[in-house]
Amino acid sequence: MRGMIPRLVAVAIAGALIVATPVIAQSPRLTLPDVANPLVAEGEVGRYGGTYVTTSISDPRTFNAIVAQETSSTVPLSYSFDGLVETNRISTEIEGALAESWTVSKDGRTWRFKLRKGVTWHDGVPVTADDVVFTLDAAFTKGVQSSLPDVLTIAGKPIQYKKVDEFTVEFKTEQPFGPFLRTIGFSVLPKHKLEGALKQGASEFNRTWSVATPPREIIGQGPFVMQQYVPGQRIVFLRNTKYYRVDRKGQRLPYLARIVVVVVPNLDAARLKFEAKETDHYSARPREFAEFKQKEAAGNFTIFDGPPTFSTEFLVFNMNPRGISGPKLAWFQNAKFRQAVSHAVDRDAMVRQVYAGRATAQFSPVSPANKFFFNPTTRRYPYDPARAEALLREAGFSKGADGLLRDAAGNVVEFTMATNAGNTDREAIGNLVRQDLTKLGMRVTFAPEAFNTLVGKLTGTFNWEAIIIGLTGGLEPHTGQNVWRSTGSLHMWHPRQDSPATDWEAEIDRVFDQAAQMVDQNKRKQLYNRWQEIVAEQVPMIYFTTTLTQPAVRNTLGNIRLGFGGTTANIEELYYRTPYR
Amino acid sequence: MLRHIARRLLHLIPMLLGITLISFAIIQLSPGDFLAEARMNPVVSSETVDRMRVSFGLDQPLHIQYLRWFWNALRLDFGYSFAFQVPVIWLIGSRLMNSVLLNLVSFAVAWAIAIPLGIHAARRQYTLSDNVLSFSAYLGISTPTFFSGLFLLYLAFRTGWFPIGGMTSIDHDFLPWWGKILDVAHHMVLPVLVLGVLSVAGLMRQMRANLLEVLRQDYVRTARSKGLAERVVINKHVVRNAINPLITIFGFSLGGLLGGSAILENVMGWPGIGKLIVEATIQKDLYVVMASLVLGSVTLVAGNLIADVLLVVSDPRIRYD
């Protein structure tokens, strides 16, 4: 798909002009009988047939692509549903999918998307602008359990959208909106199949296309057609013979005849199945990397030295006067205290002991995997107990003869640190952090709790002291606004403030406001750089490490390339090199 | 007899009321709710979470929520799962028969092995074979299912003789009817081994103890002294009298037909209701937990009732009226 970027941009800017230009004559334009302008995949030319078998550790929860939230639903649904645009796995640029081109008005507020003609739903009905409009109508219907409106509400106003003609949709935002293209890749749903359900109300719509719906009624436009779902066992997909993408020779994709997603109880079972050659793909855990590397030849697979994940692990202190009070609130609100803790945490020990070397120390809220927005020059906190003690002294703390740390008023520094029980990595991290902080003279009780209880405290009662937890992330920093704005409900250390409690929180609010309204990505990057600097300076969240991914894939599969989203996100291009099973 | 059965079934109603009320209160009053996952998702705003809360009815006062649920449950409407947005009945129904099948087969295997072994051990008390059986029984009782499950999975992985977990292979649907049966049977060997061994151990010890008890009775000595064949003494007189406690156990284990394999299902990936219930409990998917509690209570009561009826049939000395 890399080859597509120049062409798409050219089409978008120059419109019809490019068709008349003879420059592209050297590569003959590929067409399909039904799709005049198919999307040309950039991978190598493969061969047809074969079954790709992968695993999921949970059952899907819904087959409604805009209601789906967690990966056990969204990954299988991505085989059957495409959006207007998608993210290139290698360059992370936005490229057309159902949309073949788009234009943006001079004021940066009006976006016009031209749909690819001849694309059909799995039942043969054409995909039109009505479907795009319907999908958004559904998402914005009160009571429909979709998080799409959260992403598509800009400066408090939902985006406006309308059909211009059969194959053109127009979007209008209240203000110029920088991350617009990154938010518009939602799965498009078929109006002709779901209109009736939406008319009966939101709760009926939420329940239509549930896991109880016969899979053949789940009609998408993606590369594979859902064929069967056996609860607790597997989901089966068959090749979509009318897909709108072709390879470089003009042969219609996808190559694979069938995909089977096997539901397994846990990662250990997934691993055994992969090693027994029952499956073709396994996302190995950090500690398994070295072992899998040795088994590569015998197991006929390749384990990739994958990119870092987008998710984060961190320690956060409660700075919310509605939640705690007294000396503890004063310690936690003191930036020097938090900086000292950050210096006291031995991240290298964590990398070695918890992740077997498959992680790197992290100091910014942005994962280094996010190459465009990551700011590598923020303040860092290497392991330095002496520096930590100095910082604590500056903040008025002192270590007594009994080895305990006391604040200026003589209170012993002690607090309870929680995490969600059952997450073994976080429990191991918690134990290391407790040891590190004990060396400073703090008295830390480490008490893992049930996930639901923990979240109840974080977002509801605010009755907690310190918590080790993690968040998932994405390419676009704007999607983290619920965490970073002082009004956000996930602004964990002090959620839902009426007005920012500190100057630095006020500045972060301003950065997020400004960056959202900017279309120039480089200017946005400058603003988000500033945000990362503030966070690294104030350490409201003490980040630990970014773990690396290590996907393992059977060598029988072709077109496997490591990219954003792993090794097999280009599912339509995968093929069997060898005669298949 | 009929009056006894009717009375027992009537007792079920206050019992269910009590069980469901207490569990409902415990689930609802403990901190945290189903929406925790949505709350921790940076992309989901708190307004969206609030809307979800309303649409699940979780914003209503607790007693209203409970009464509404109980009233619907009386009419066999167990509500919708929060996580899956499908009727709880469908969710449980889609996995129920898998659990029943696994437990029934293990049950049958266990009884078919345990009863003869128990009789054998009792008749040859303190011989080598009795001691070997006793030793293996202790080993069987004291091995947790998750351990033996994992061990056998590893064995399957090393040898390649058995599939690694699951209930059917991915090509199951292309097989003829007998192939489908063989496929499921192949997948069932290991889980049945785990569950079967566990209950064989206990049942065998029970049978042995009962039989020893009866063997000491005067009428056994009488039967032997009047020259009856040993086979007749054992099968016709001793076993029939020794079986009563086992019938009670039988009824009790009927109650475990649904939930008895919950842990093993999670280890072996058997698509039964065990995994569903464990996940629902962790996530606080309220109505799934409630429905499974009702189901468990009803089967337990039904199992005990069946045992009572069987006791009357097998032992004419027992009467309920």
Residue-wise pLDDT tens digits, A215-252:
999 999 999 999 999 999 999 999 999 999 999 999 99
Mean pLDDT of A253-259: 95
* Confidence check: pLDDT of A111 > 60: yes
Domain match, B53 and B96 both: no
Nearest-Cα distance to chain B for A402, in Å, is 37
Residues B151 and B50 in one domain: no
Q: Which residues of A touch B282 (CB under 8 A)?
A: 450-452
Q: What is the pLDDT of residue A18?
A: 35
Check whether residue B107 and residue B225 sit in a common domain: yes
**C-beta separation of A209 from A64 below 8 A:** yes
* Domain A215-307+549-576: which CATH number of 3.40.50.11440, 3.60.20.10, 3.40.430.10, 3.40.190.10: 3.40.190.10
Task: Give residue A242's pLDDT.
Answer: 94
Name the pLDDT band for A2 (thresholds 50, 70, 90): very low
In a domain, residue B79? The reply is no
Output the six-digit token pair for A116.
């690819």
pLDDT at position A27 is 54
pTM assigned to the model? 0.87
What is the mean pLDDT of the segment spanning A193-197? 95
Q: What is the largest CA-CA distance in chain A?
A: 85
The gap between the terminal CA atoms of chain B, to the nearest Å, is 6
**Residue B278 resides in a domain:** yes
Find the CB nearest B45 among A150, A236, A272. A150
CB A14 within 8 A of CB A218: no
**Chain centroid offset of residue A484 CA:** 17
Domain A312-547 in CATH 3.60.70.12: no
| CA atoms of A322 and B221, how far apart (whole Å) | 81
Q: Which tokens belong to B23? A: 């569990």
* pLDDT interval class at B169 (50, 70, 90): very high
pLDDT band with cut points at 50, 70 and 90 for residue A101? very high
Tokens representing B281 are 């409990």
First to last CA, chain A: 28
In chain B, residues 277-306 whose CB comes closer than 8 Å to chain A:
279, 282-284
pLDDT band at A178 (very low <50, low <70, confident <90, very high): confident
pLDDT for A28: 63
Q: Tokens 């990662």, residue?
A: A267
CB pair distance less than 8 Å for B33 and A228: no
Put simply, whether A490 touches B (Cβ < 8 Å) is yes
Side-chain half-sphere exposure of B301, counting CA atoms within 13 A:
19
State the smallest CA–CA distance between residue B172 and chain A in angstroms: 11
Q: List, for residues A125-168, the tens digit of each pLDDT value.
A: 999 999 999 999 999 998 888 888 888 888 778 999 999 999 99
The reply to whether omega before B271 is within 30° of 0 (cis) is no
User: How far, CA to CA in Å, does B33 sit from each of A457, A468, B85, B207, B225?
Assistant: 11, 20, 16, 47, 70
DSSP character at residue A217: G
- Tell me, yes or no, whether B148 and B28 share the same domain: no
| Structural domain count of chain B | 2
- Give the relative orientation of helices B286-314 and B88-123 as an angle to the nearest 10 degrees: 40
Find the farthest-apart pair of alpha carbons in chain B and give their distance in angstroms, rounded.
86
Both tokens assigned to A525: 């990057």
Query: Where in chain A are the domains?
Result: 215-307+549-576, 312-547
- Contact by Cβ (8 Å): A398, A441: no
Q: Does the beta carbon of B95 lie under 8 angstroms from any beta carbon of chain A? A: yes
Q: What CATH number does residue B295 fall under?
A: 1.10.3720.10
- Both tokens of A310, joined, read 């987008």
**Residue B265 contacts A where some CB pair is shorter than 8 Å:** yes
The model's pLDDT over B244-296, given as tens digits with 9 standing for 90+, comes to 888 888 888 887 788 778 889 988 999 999 888 888 988 889 999 999 988 88
| Residues B19 and B154 placed together within one structural domain of the fold | no
A55 within 8 A of A259, measured Cβ to Cβ: no
Q: Which amino acid is at A539?
A: V
* pLDDT tens digits for range A549-564: 999 999 999 999 888 7
The answer, yes or no, to whether residue A451 has pLDDT greater than 50, is yes
Please check whether residues B119 and B33 belong to one and the same domain.
no
pLDDT in tens, A260-298: 999 999 899 999 999 999 999 999 999 999 999 999 999
Percent of chain A with pLDDT over 70: 95
Contacts 24+ apart (CB under 8 A), B308-317: B308/B4, B308/B8, B308/B251, B309/B1, B309/B5, B310/B247, B310/B250, B310/B251, B311/B244, B311/B247, B311/B248, B312/B1, B314/B240, B314/B243, B314/B244, B314/B247, B315/B244
Note whether B3 and B321 are within 8 A (CB). Answer: yes
Region B6-10: what's the mean pLDDT? 86
Do the chains contact at A269 and B165, CB–CB below 8 Å?
yes
Same structural domain, B57 and B144:
no
Lowest mean pLDDT among A141-150, A201-210, B33-42, B278-287: B33-42
Same domain, B212 and B251: yes
State the Cα–Cα distance between residues B170 and B166, nearest whole angstrom.
10
**Pick from A283, A281, A317, A287: nearest CA to A299:** A281
What is the spatial distance between Cα A532 and Cα A481, in angstroms, rounded to a whole number?
A: 13
pLDDT tens figures, A48-76 = 999 999 999 989 999 999 988 888 999 99
**Residue of B30, B39, B266 with shortest CB distance to A459:** B39
B140 lies in some domain? yes
User: Span A4-21, mean pLDDT?
Assistant: 36
In terms of residue numbers, what domain contains B36? 2-62
Q: Is residue B321 part of a domain?
A: no
The per-residue pLDDT for A7 is: 37
- Per-residue model confidence as pLDDT tens digits over B292-312: 988 888 888 888 888 888 888
d(Cα A485, Cα A150) in Å, to the nearest integer?
14
Distance CA B72, CA A5 (A): 57
ipTM field: 0.88
Do B157 and B19 lie in a common domain?
no
Residue B132, C-beta contacts closer than 8 angstroms, at least 6 positions apart: none
The CA distance from A338 to the nearest CA of chain B, in Å, is: 23
Query: How does the average pLDDT of chain A come out, rounded?
Result: 89
Pairwise CA distance, residues A178 & A182, whole Å: 9
* Residue matched to tokens 């069967």: A228
pLDDT of residue A11: 36
- The structure tokens listed for A529 are 């750089």
Own/partner long-range contacts of B209-215 (Cβ < 8 Å, ≥24 apart): B209/B122, B210/B118, B210/B242, B210/B243, B210/B244, B210/B245, B210/B246, B211/B118, B211/B119, B211/B122, B211/B123, B211/B238, B211/B239, B211/B242, B212/B122, B212/B125, B213/B242, B214/B238, B214/B241, B214/B242, B215/B122, B215/B123
Separation of alpha carbons A7 and A555, rounded Å: 32
Tokens for B79, please give them.
């509500």
Interface of A with B in 464-483 (CB under 8 A): 469, 471-473, 479-480, 482-483
Q: Are residues B162 and B303 in the same domain?
A: yes
Of residues A172 and B242, more confidence is placed in A172
CB contact set of B6 (below 8 Å; sequence gap of 6+) = none
Per residue in B170-199, pLDDT (tens digit) is 999 999 999 999 999 999 999 999 988 888
Dihedral of alpha carbons A77, A305, A50, A45, sign? positive
| Same domain membership, residue B290 and residue B172 | yes
Is B246 a domain residue?
Answer: yes
Question: Residue A300 phi/psi, 5° resolution?
Answer: 55, 45
More confident residue, A137 or B124: A137
**The pLDDT value given to residue A387:** 95
Q: Are A231 and B95 in contact (CB < 8 Å)?
A: yes
Q: Which amino acid is at B123?
A: R
